[in-house]
Amino acid sequence: MQNTDNPSPAFKIFRCIYALFYIAAGFNHFLSTQGYYAIMPEWLPAQKFLIYLSGISEITFGFMLLFKRTQKLAAWLIILMLLAFMPAHIYMIQKAPFMLRSIEITPLIAWIRIPFQAFFIWWAWIYTISYTEPVEV
């Protein structure tokens, strides 16, 4: 496992990629708001507010991930956010098949999103770890 107190260049590059992913995804909430309504469970209130809140959160956490001082907090917040998004992913499975703009979301595509969420949670978790000595895996 990587020593996050003295990260390697590859660790920093992947952290930047991960951060930019969230920053871009967050801005997408404002650019493609309509698409998010299709994947939000109907029982959630104030959907427009939640879409914008999640966009602001993704942008904020992405920027926080870029700085050593806020990296661990950002990673934990991303993990919590991804867990909070799980009802939307489950709703997509229940709703499939459906059209999301020009893309047909089949049951398979909806199910594949769940392992991706697990992967993104794992990726965030990497940035929560701090070791004084590198640990080999």
Those residues with Cβ within 8 angstroms of residue 71's Cβ, 6 or more apart along the chain or in another chain: 4, 15, 64, 65, 127
Higher model confidence: residue 126 or residue 133? 126
Please tell me the predicted confidence (pLDDT) of residue 8.
Answer: 85
Convert the pLDDT of each residue in 5-35 to its tens digit.
667 888 899 999 999 999 999 999 999 999 8
Q: Which residue has the higher pLDDT, 96 or 5?
A: 96
Task: Determine what percent of the chain is predicted with pLDDT higher than 90.
Answer: 77
The pTM score is 0.86
